[in-house]
Structure 1
Amino acid sequence: MAPHCDTMDGPVVTACKMALKMENVNYVLPFVPKKSEEELTRAFNKTLKARKLGKDAEEIVDLWFFETAVRLHREGEGAPYTGLKPAGLDWGPVVPRAERDIEKGDPTETIEFIKSVVEKEMRKKFDAAMSTKDYDINNVDAARKYTESMLHFVLSSHHLYKYIISGGAD
């Protein structure tokens, strides 16, 4: 899930708002693991009841429901719940592109952007290794600098590959 899943304008809270508007918990259930469905459904039903007590109650209980959904979502990811973050945070250049591509039904913009970033960064790591490769064997500091640069390139390549083929769970 995108790193903005715990923000007030992220996909979990957006799904919560739609669930409340439509009075259908199924809009948000896909964001929590199956084992948490019952807890979220109970929270949803309590929220719907409490919302009838007035605007103040609605505001408080909606926030509680958002927090519950995000907490259960984060637990499902194996990540800690650290509270709801405000809307409008800058999540960098990838999340907005990926979201636009999902809307368009075409991943090209995100893929091209990621390819260009990966190429640029991997070339920098490679060039750093190459620039330190021809060291005097008796200069251990220079050898360490090369070894560090070389390993940074190799391990970055390996970790990036493993992460991509694992679907992000690695």
Structure 2
Amino acid sequence: MTLSLRKHLLAIITASALALSLATPALAHCDAMDGPLITEAQKALDSGDITPILKWVPASDEAALAETFDKTLEDRELGDDARELADQQFFATLVEIHRASEGAPFTGIKPAGAIDPAVRAADRALEEGEIDAFLARVVEQFEQQARSRFEATLAARQRADESTELGREFVAHYVDYVHYLEEVHNVVAGLASAH
């Protein structure tokens, strides 16, 4: 296999694995104060135009969200404290509707700065319209992880029959190694769900 083909395959595998892991509730960023959903919601509230955030919710929830949006705009006029509280309640409602549309639970609004660096890099690639640097980073990380697990498992296997303790050490490495690669394979094969 040529180096170029190998790198392309690694890129596909790791991008798929990362895409799945980024979509899981643990790493979701639509509920973070500096995530794309709340950032757009803040702009919508400031401009008084709900249109830019409607894409984040199902059409069936649009009327209820619009009603909440209008109420939030009214409440914002009552002063700074009311504005902050109204905004937070609107963000929570919006995120809850959005998360429900993904089949994911609403676990509250996360503080700014809580977004995983990989998610930030994925968003940056979209903003810049270029994914090569991101894929190179992901491929490098995947390859390091796969090689590290492989080498540890291979070394442990060579000592596995020396004692029960060393055998168990091998099994622990083996399980970690195989499960890691199995997860990547399942993502690439489309056997894993995003949520």
Q: Percent identity?
A: 33
Cα deviation, residue 3, structure 1 = 2.9
In structure 1, what is the Cα distance between the partners aligned to 2:92 and 2:160? Answer: 59
Q: Which amino acid aligns with 1:106?
A: E
Contiguous gaps of at least 5 residues in structure 1: none
Cα deviation, residue 98, structure 1 = 1.7
1:14 aligns to what? 39
Instruction: Give yes or no for contact 1:163–1:169 (8 Å, CA) kept in 2.
Output: no
2:118 aligns to what? 94
Q: Does 1:64 align with 2:89?
A: yes
Greater RCO (CA < 8 Å, at least 6 residues apart): 2
Helix, strand or coil at the partner of 2:158: coil
Cα deviation, residue 34, structure 1 = 4.1
In structure 2, what is the Cα distance between the partners aligned to 1:136 and 1:88? Answer: 44
In structure 2, what is the Cα distance between the partners aligned to 1:158 and 1:136? Answer: 22
Q: Does 1:79 align with 2:104?
A: yes
In structure 1, what is the Cα distance between the partners aligned to 2:194 and 2:160? Answer: 42
Cα deviation, residue 66, structure 1 = 0.9
2:7 aligns to what? none
145, 161, 166: which one pairs with 1:142? 166
Q: Which amino acid aligns with 1:156?
A: Y
In structure 1, what is the Cα distance between the partners aligned to 2:36 and 2:177? Answer: 35
Cα deviation, residue 100, structure 1 = 1.8
165, 175, 183: which one pairs with 1:159? 183
Structure 1 runs of 4+ with >6 Å offset = none
Cα deviation, residue 121, structure 1 = 0.7
In structure 1, what is the Cα distance between the partners aligned to 2:37 and 2:180? Answer: 31
Range 18-27 or range 47-56, more displaced: 47-56
Give per-residue Cα distances to partners, 1:11-61, cap 9 Å, x unaligned: 111111122233332312222344433332221122223334444433321
Range 36-45 or range 109-118, more displaced: 36-45
Range 76-85 or range 120-129, more displaced: 76-85
Instruction: Give yes or no for contact 1:4–1:10 (8 Å, CA) kept in 2.
Output: yes
Q: 1:55 to 1:92 in 2, by over 3 A?
A: closer
Q: Which amino acid aligns with 1:48?
A: L
Query: For this pair of structures, how many residues does the alignment match?
Result: 169
Helix, strand or coil at the partner of 1:118: helix
Q: Does 1:48 align with 2:68?
A: no
1:110 aligns to what? 134
In structure 1, what is the Cα distance between the partners aligned to 2:129 and 2:92? Answer: 30
Q: 1:148 to 1:21 in 2, by over 3 A?
A: same
Cα deviation, residue 120, structure 1 = 0.5
